[in-house]
Structure 1
Amino acid sequence: MKLVLATGNKGKVREIKALCEDHEVVPYSELIDEFEIIEDGDTFKENALIKARAVFKALNDEDVIVIADDSGISVDVLDGAPGIYSARYAGADANDKDNLYKLIEAIKEKGFDSSPAHYTAAIAIVTKDAEYSVHGWMYGTALTKAIGDGGFGYDPMFIPLGFDKTLGELDDEIKKKLSHRSKALALAKKIIKTL
């Protein structure tokens, strides 16, 4: 069964492909031209569903399962920011590094060297018959410096609970077990098996 990802983010595509090895996983951009999807929901779940619905409709193929992920980091000393705005925290045209360093500066501006934080991943699954959503979380500490060059996004500034290294330093196999996205995908896979 073909799983179509409603994302063009290479980091997310790589991570989801690795976690769903028993399925054919294709980013939607390999099937149709990429198009802008306005994510105007108030939660990760709403935005994931908006993306999955839009791609399912655009594909015009009832035999696919579309998976969309909306995820981000929430920092306690910033009252949960950047949250659903994680991907565009430093502006619409910002890249991962811009977002990372803006978040580091925002924590410093509050007078802290670190803060409790967590990642949230909401995964939406849309088929011709139904819609589903699941969540996964990873808790830890956000630092005011970037350490390590592995992973993507905010990984170099985040130390997961129970570890002393950032996600930018940790081995991919360890990250796979801890990841908010892998926890959400484990639940999503249970749903996909029933479809």
Structure 2
Amino acid sequence: MKLVLATSNKGKVKEIKELCKHYEVIPYSELIDEFEIIEDADSFKENALIKARAVYKALNDKNVIVMADDSGISVDALDGAPGIYSARYGGESATDKDNLNKLINDIKEKDLQSSPAHYTAAIAIVADGIEKTVHGWMYGTAVTKAQGEGGFGYDPMFIPLGYDKTLGELDNEIKKKLSHRSKALYLASKILKNL
């Protein structure tokens, strides 16, 4: 079964490929030219649906299943920011490092060294006549010191509940078990089996 990902984010593609080994996982950019998708909804779920619908329509192939993920980190001390703006928190052309540094600085500006936080992953699946969404969450603490080289995005500043190391320091197998995306993909796999 061909599973087309509505993303060109290398970190997400790698993670989803590892978690969906039973499928032929292809980023949409290998099938058609990349194009801008305006994510203007106010929830992870709706933004994931926008991406999946746009790629499904652009592919114009009823024999593919498109999966889109919208995910991010929400920090309690910042009233849930960056939330749905996680990927562009440091500005439109910000790198992962820019976003990470901005979030660390924003927490420090509250005179804090850490804050409760959580990751959310919403996954949308769009196929011929089908639209489904699932969610996964991971709770923990956002800290103001980046630690570790593993993962991507905000991983070096997030310590999962029950651990004393950041996602940037933890072993990949542990991360897979804890990951918000893993939890959402597990639920998504149940939907895929029934398609």
Equivalent residue runs for 1:4-153 within 5 Å? 4-153=4-153
Distance 1:159 1:58 in 2: 39
SS of the residue corresponding to residue 106 of structure 2 reads helix
Residues 150-184 of structure 1 deviation map (CA, whole Å, 9 limit, x = unaligned): 00000000000000000000010100000000000
Residues 81-117 of structure 1 deviation map (CA, whole Å, 9 limit, x = unaligned): 0000000000000000000000000000011000000
Distance 1:179 1:163 in 2: 13
Q: Give the length in aligned residue pairs.
A: 195
Which residue pairs with 1:175 in the alignment?
175
Distance 2:141 2:17 in 1: 27
TM-superposed CA distance for 1:73, in Å, is: 0.1
Distance 1:131 1:73 in 2: 25
TM-superposed CA distance for 1:37, in Å, is: 0.1
Residues 24-63 of structure 1 deviation map (CA, whole Å, 9 limit, x = unaligned): 0000000000000000000000000000000000000000
5+ residue gaps, structure 2, are: none
Report the residue type matching 1:8 in the other structure. Answer: S
Report the residue type matching 1:77 in the other structure. Answer: A
Report the residue type matching 2:158 in the other structure. Answer: F
Report percent identity of matched pairs: 80
SS of the residue corresponding to residue 175 of structure 2 reads helix
SS of the residue corresponding to residue 190 of structure 1 reads helix
Distance 2:179 2:80 in 1: 19
Distance 2:129 2:39 in 1: 23
Distance 2:135 2:86 in 1: 17
Backbone CA RMSD of aligned residues: 0.3
Distance 2:6 2:165 in 1: 31
